[in-house]
Amino acid sequence: MTRIGLEIHCQLTKLESKLFCSCKAEYRNLAPNSNICPVCTGLPGSLPILNKKAVEKAVMISLALGCKIPEKIAFFRKNYFYPDLPKNFQITQYNAYGPTSIGSDGKIIIQGKEIKIRRIQLEEDPGRLVYEGKSMLTLVDYNRAGTPLVEIVTEPDFETPKQVRIFLNVLADLVENIGVSDPYLEGAMRVDGNISEGDGNRVEIKNVGSFRDIEKALHFEITRQQSLLEREISVVSETRHWDDARRITVSSRSKEEEQDYRYLPEADIPIVLIRNESIENIKKQMPESIVAKRERYVKKYGIPAQVADVLSSDRFYADLFEKSHNERNAKEVANIITTDLLSYADTREKKLELKITAQHISDLADSVMDNKLTRNSGKQALQEMVKTGKSLLDVISSLDLGHVNDSGSIEKIIDEVFQEEKKAVTEARQNPDTINYLVGKVMKKTKGKADPATTLDILRKKLSS
């Protein structure tokens, strides 16, 4: 059996300031070392000032993942030397002397599979090492130092890399949904994994760039470990790095697991008391959870469970749904989004390119429901709107998608079809099941604009006369 656990680092990119100073939490696209101050560069004499908003947001994530929130939250120092760490210790949290991290002991159910959350902690991100061109120098940029980071550690409850991917997608949607982070910014959400096969030793996988890569790295590692075990070679307990270029994991020579971090309480930050009423307050500020949203879609609008599943766990489309639906057209809107639109734009990049607005979706759903447009034409119109951003009316006229439902013109077309398809007409008179062939011909002639019900009606009359 494969057992996979994850360690996810998620930056709270939506905060105004860093975890312990007033520098910007969003450090990207700034000149190197321009987003720094005495506190985040650890100058002598500087002291950390805890960002209360970061605590609140981390509590939100913990609540959303069903974690217990302790009454007392404490910070610890993790001591190690590294040039990206200005103080040569990281202010983080540590549960070895009792649970004092933001959250612990949580769980989330993903497609029927329970994933337990060991702990959630708040900590500071280090700076970044930068290598430029062929220079031998290692440069350090401290713009990122002190960015609020939430570390989420799961139990080794995953059995397949696919479960991992689904979990990560849900987690990304969740933090986005809560409004604490933009998980798609480069480096905003980073994943390390640990994996063991059967009774074999545990291997840590680090340095994985993206969600897609973690899946690949896990697949590679499963194959590697299984083939070792098949040959009765035991798996070494070690840390391996994902080599993006070669698409394999490589044993890292550094003995990271042997490092003693000499944790000690961070006395500069007094213990934070979390009162029940403040948790209640935070709960009130939290947006509707994915589970609650899904239930509402099913109960209130009668949207099928599967459609509601897809819709509720995708922040972008859920928002679009919320803006475009009304009591009457909700089901149709959900349908358009989850079948037509989602198949058209399933990645973040594609979503960002969409020129479609809530108005487009709403108009489209209404037109289909009012029989002004066939489903088929609707699909065409949607594709055009997505590309051009033109209004539905403009698209209908420019693509000539207007619905034909006056029986006069449909009858004319049916007469033409009868002339051209004599054999089929005879067949249909004998076997009514083949009538769809004729409907198809009518649709082809009208480019899908003919109302299917009216067409069928007239066809039946003509065939039986």
Partner 1 sequence: MNLGISATEFVSQAKDGAISVEEFVAKTLDRINRVEEKLHAFITVDSQNALAKSKEIDKKIKSKDKVGICFGMPISIKDNICTAGLKTTCASKMLENFVAPYDATVVSRLKSEDAIIIGKVNLDEFAMGSTTEFSYFGTSRNPWNIDYVPGGSSGGSGVSVSALECLGSLGSDTGGSVRSPASFCSVVGLKPTYGLISRYGLVSYANSIEQVGPMARTVEDVAFLLNIISGHDPHDNTTVKNGHVNYTQDISSGISGKKIGIITQMIGEGVDKEVVSATNRAISKLQELGAECIPVSLDAVEHSVAAYYTIASAEASSNLSRYDNLRYGFDFGTEGYEFKAFISKARSNFGPEVTRRMLLGAFVLSTGYYGKYYLKAQKVRTMIKAQLDEAFKKVDFLISPTMPILPFKVGEKIDDPLKLYLTDINTITANLSGIPAISVPFEMSNSGLPIGMQLFANSFEEKKLLQAAYALQETANLPEVPL
Binding positions for partner 1, rule: CB under 8 A:
38, 41-50, 77, 79, 81, 83, 86-89, 97, 140, 260, 262-265, 267-270
Query: Could you tell me the smallest distance in angstroms from the CB atom of residue 270 to partner 1?
Result: 6
* CA 223 to chain CA centroid, nearest Å: 27
The two beta strands, 72-73 and 76-79, are unpaired
Nearer to partner 1, 77 or 360 (CB): 77
Query: Could you tell me the smallest distance in angstroms from the CB atom of residue 386 to partner 1?
Result: 50
Query: Could you tell me the smallest distance in angstroms from the CB atom of residue 141 to partner 1?
Result: 12
Nearer to partner 1, 49 or 399 (CB): 49
Residue linked to tokens 């933001």? 102
Nearer to partner 1, 264 or 305 (CB): 264
Query: Could you tell me the smallest distance in angstroms from the CB atom of residue 87 to partner 1?
Result: 5
* Residue 296 burial (10 A CB sphere; 0-12, 13-18, 19+): middle
Nearer to partner 1, 270 or 287 (CB): 270
Give the residue from 104, 65, 60 showing the smallest Cα distance to 279: 60
Nearer to partner 1, 233 or 264 (CB): 264
Cβ atoms of residues 122 and 19 within 8 Å: yes
Beta bridge partners of 11: 149
Query: Could you tell me the smallest distance in angstroms from the CB atom of residue 83 to partner 1?
Result: 6
Cβ atoms of residues 21 and 146 within 8 Å: yes
Nearer to partner 1, 45 or 133 (CB): 45
Q: Could you give the CA distance from residue 171 to residue 108 in angstroms, rounded to a whole number?
A: 10
Q: Could you give the CA distance from residue 310 to residue 316 in angstroms, rounded to a whole number?
A: 11
Nearer to partner 1, 37 or 424 (CB): 37
Planar angle of CA 95, 99, 100, nearest 5 degrees? 85
Q: Could you give the CA distance from residue 195 to residue 201 in angstroms, rounded to a whole number?
A: 8
* Residues 182, 183, 186, 190, CA torsion sign: positive
Query: Could you tell me the smallest distance in angstroms from the CB atom of residue 252 to partner 1?
Result: 16
Give the residue from 125, 170, 167 showing the smallest Cα distance to 310: 170
Nearer to partner 1, 259 or 398 (CB): 259
DSSP SS3 for 285: helix
Query: Could you tell me the smallest distance in angstroms from the CB atom of residue 137 to partner 1?
Result: 8
Query: Could you tell me the smallest distance in angstroms from the CB atom of residue 395 to partner 1?
Result: 57
Give the residue from 255, 187, 249 showing the smallest Cα distance to 224: 249
Question: Which residues does 224 contact at the CB level (< 8 Å), separation at least 6?
Answer: 249
